[in-house]
Structure 1
Amino acid sequence: VSLAVSQVSTSTPIPVPTPGTPVVGLAVTQDTNAIVRVAERVRPAVVSITSLQVSLDQFAQPVPEESGVGSGVIYDPNGLIITNNHVVEGADSVRVGLPDGRSFQGRIVGTDRQSDLAVVKVEATGLPYAELGDSSKLRVGEWVVAIGNALALDGGPTVTVGVVGALDRYINEGGNTLFDLIQTDAAINPGNSGGPLVNLAGQVIGINVAIARAPGAGIGFAISMNGARPVVDELARNGKITRPWLGVSLVSVSASIAEARGLPAKEGALVAQIVRTGPLARAGGRAGDIIVQVDDIPVKNVVTLLKAMAKHKVGDTVQITVARQGGRQTLSVLLEAMPN
């Protein structure tokens, strides 16, 4: 199940605490209209996105059918919209609906399965849009607002409120590891995927992507805006993301696994499989190696390795330290583009 939220700039000021200070419950109870004003600013920029797939009717004529409904947030007045990749994946076309009743044919500008982000565009100008914020300033316990098309209910987007429960979370979703996630207890429901999570300054600080599947968990996750922004920018420019790769399959190493298997390192990323013609193999890496450091960044598990690699681009040379029986070795690896 996924979630969504959104926000939009207007001329109405929103009283908020001094930047850099945590937002606490007292600030909200003293100004009960703070969330109302955030919702009024944000809600006009939250859109519904209906994915359509073409099938043939009994007369072999093409007929578009709805294959899914999600949310998105307009972040540019000229029609650029952020959503999740899984909202539009496999769609032949998309239809975008605004809370004011307008509807547009959308064009999928670009998608990225690994980050579960996508950019959609509608041909319109002067649209309500959301200001993108700085998620690095978030603090645990800060109030946040989620807005999205929950359950595809009529009457426009739904607004829910919660707090930042944790930062820098990661989950495995759809075969991918999503990291740099914001955890929140703002209520989210099917249909909310792809919308933004908003702070009380009226800024989008996350793109909601999933909820915990455990019964009664009440926990949702949003891709941090600082993590999403570079992906969104590249999708808007190029329509795709070009990432470097090492040519390996990896497994996280823990102290208990290392002890049970007699591994040469108590933490890191174990190379379970390696492509013989891949960058790491050509630099001298081999299956069974444990990657323990990338440049000067210690690697504790697969997630920390992914985060370290996200700082690099194709053509960079990185120093990767591996632990193997007999000691440690640092390999100079020239990064290449990940194959499609």
Structure 2
Amino acid sequence: MPEGGITLPSPVPPAMRPGRAGFALAALAGGLAGGLLAGLLVWLLVHGDSSTPASNPGAQETPVPAITRLEVTSAISAAAARGRESVVRIESFRRVAGGLQRDVGSGVVMDQQGHIVTNAHVVMGTESLKVVLPDGTERQALLLAHDYPFTDVAVLQVSPGGLTPIEPGDSDALVPGDTVLAIGETLSEFQGSVTVGIVSGVKRVRYYDGVVHRDFIQTDAAVNHGNSGGALVNLKGQLVGMPTSVIRLTETGQEVEGVAFALPADRVMDIAARIVAAGGPITRPSIGFEHIDLMPETLARLPRLALDEGALVASVPAGGVAAGAGIRAGDIVTMLGDRAITRQNPLLNVLQEYEPGEVAKVVLNRGGLIIETEVRLAKRQ
């Protein structure tokens, strides 16, 4: 069937068409030869050059592109209308020198109980939060919890009622080429903006906030400041992702267009549901020190080190679990448990496999000296 859902029948070959008009003209002309000629002329006048040649009676006419364009446009419009009902504006206020700084991001309505899911980086470190619903109604919001840095997901709480929860979609079902829409507060100014693109890739591997993610959705739908925490929806208006990051420049400074990444909706909604169920943060472990992953971009800014992979201990708070285990600033963690700390598996990726209270072996490189110790992991605050 041609694109657009309509099959146009092939014209009947001239030899098979009825010839009543030809016989009538033949009687008027008074001869069979004249009748045949007149019939042929009438047939040509009626059908022009649109008939299929007799030598190819099975050929089909070219589909009408306008029908396909109309169907796709209607599907996009319907998906946008459905998705926009569940995407909200998040206004945050942070204390800076000289007063409060206002910023804007996006969020998605989870349920009628007033839970809004967004990116953690949209709401972390804020003094106050306000949510603006699609109809312009404003509600004060509280940060219930976030899962940073393990996942860039946070949940807000607003007063319940009068909300349109988004319908979750199946992000695992996405394939390159699928049409998707990004909905959010573009440039912090244009509420409920909709951009259209395709899924450029799935299960993209990206190092983001100290964690290697292996399930990012890549899209060429335009994503700008303010879109973070909004919705990436399919043509049914279902949530399939959360726009989270954009590549603007290459490592050499060249401009990049049409490369944005979204967290898959399956993971976003799972993390959000766990936060709601806990009524606060998900239980995560802490190893008790701040660190810098040894990646090409960080190595370029650090003094020459003995190793080019691992986690460089940046600071160790006194009285913490790391200090108690003898870990010092300047140490390089090379192993946690039986897992090597590498660029593909940085410290946080390995750490999130543990629970608070567990004892983990830590292997350190201290100026070329290999040291092994144990840390009883704390609960991340």
Contact 1:170 1:178 (8 Å CA) reproduced: yes
Query: Which amino acid in the other structure matches residue 43 of structure 1?
Result: R
C-alpha RMSD of matched pairs (Å): 4.0
Q: Which residue of 1 aligns with 2:207?
A: 170
Q: Which runs of 5+ in 1 are unaligned?
A: 1-27, 55-64
Q: Is 1:269 the counterpart of 2:311 in the alignment?
A: yes
SS of aligned partner of 2:155: strand
User: Higher RCO, 1 or 2 (CA under 8 Å, sep at least 6)?
Assistant: 1
2:167 to 131, 135, 147: 131
Contact 2:144 2:155 (8 Å CA) reproduced: yes
User: For residues 266 and 151 of structure 1, what CA distance do their matches in structure 2 show?
Assistant: 38
In the TM superposition, residue 152 of structure 1 has moved relative to its aligned partner by 5.1
Instruction: Identify if the C-alpha distance between structure 1 residues 156 and 143 changes in structure 2 by more than 3 Å, giving closer, same or farther.
Output: closer
Q: Which residue of 2 aligns with 1:219?
A: 259
Instruction: Identify if the C-alpha distance between structure 1 residues 169 and 329 changes in structure 2 by more than 3 Å, giving closer, same or farther.
Output: same
In the TM superposition, residue 300 of structure 1 has moved relative to its aligned partner by 0.8
SS of aligned partner of 2:350: helix
Q: Is 1:106 the counterpart of 2:140 in the alignment?
A: yes
Contact 1:73 1:196 (8 Å CA) reproduced: yes
User: For residues 86 and 326 of structure 1, what CA distance do their matches in structure 2 show?
Assistant: 37
**Mean Cα deviation higher: 189-198 or 201-210:** 201-210
Q: Which runs of 5+ in 2 are unaligned?
A: 1-67, 250-254
Q: Superposed, which structure 2 residues align to 1:50-61 within 5 Å?
A: 50-51=91-92
SS of aligned partner of 1:131: coil
TM-score, normalised to structure 2, is 0.62
Q: Which residue of 2 aligns with 1:251?
A: 292
User: For residues 201 and 156 of structure 1, what CA distance do their matches in structure 2 show?
Assistant: 17
Q: Which residue of 1 aligns with 2:226?
A: 191
Higher strand share: 1
In the TM superposition, residue 156 of structure 1 has moved relative to its aligned partner by 4.0
SS of aligned partner of 2:140: strand
In the TM superposition, residue 308 of structure 1 has moved relative to its aligned partner by 1.8
Q: Deviations for 1:22-69, whole angstroms, at most 9, x for unmatched residues?
A: xxxxxx989725544433432211122334689xxxxxxxxxx99233
User: For residues 296 and 160 of structure 2, what CA distance do their matches in structure 1 show?
Assistant: 55
In the TM superposition, residue 169 of structure 1 has moved relative to its aligned partner by 1.2
Q: Is 1:278 the counterpart of 2:320 in the alignment?
A: yes
2:131 to 69, 92, 95: 95
TM-score, normalised to structure 1, is 0.68
1:233 to 273, 289, 296: 273
How many residues end up aligned between the 2 structures?
294
User: For residues 119 and 169 of structure 1, what CA distance do their matches in structure 2 show?
Assistant: 23
Contact 2:232 2:240 (8 Å CA) reproduced: yes
User: For residues 192 and 157 of structure 2, what CA distance do their matches in structure 1 show?
Assistant: 20
In the TM superposition, residue 148 of structure 1 has moved relative to its aligned partner by 1.3
User: For residues 190 and 125 of structure 1, what CA distance do their matches in structure 2 show?
Assistant: 29
User: For residues 132 and 296 of structure 1, what CA distance do their matches in structure 2 show?
Assistant: 38
Contact 1:194 1:208 (8 Å CA) reproduced: yes
Instruction: Identify if the C-alpha distance between structure 1 residues 315 and 144 changes in structure 2 by more than 3 Å, giving closer, same or farther.
Output: farther
Query: Which amino acid in the other structure matches residue 220 of structure 1?
Result: A
Q: Which residue of 1 aligns with 2:357?
A: 315
2:245 to 203, 207, 210: 210
Instruction: Identify if the C-alpha distance between structure 1 residues 203 and 53 changes in structure 2 by more than 3 Å, giving closer, same or farther.
Output: same
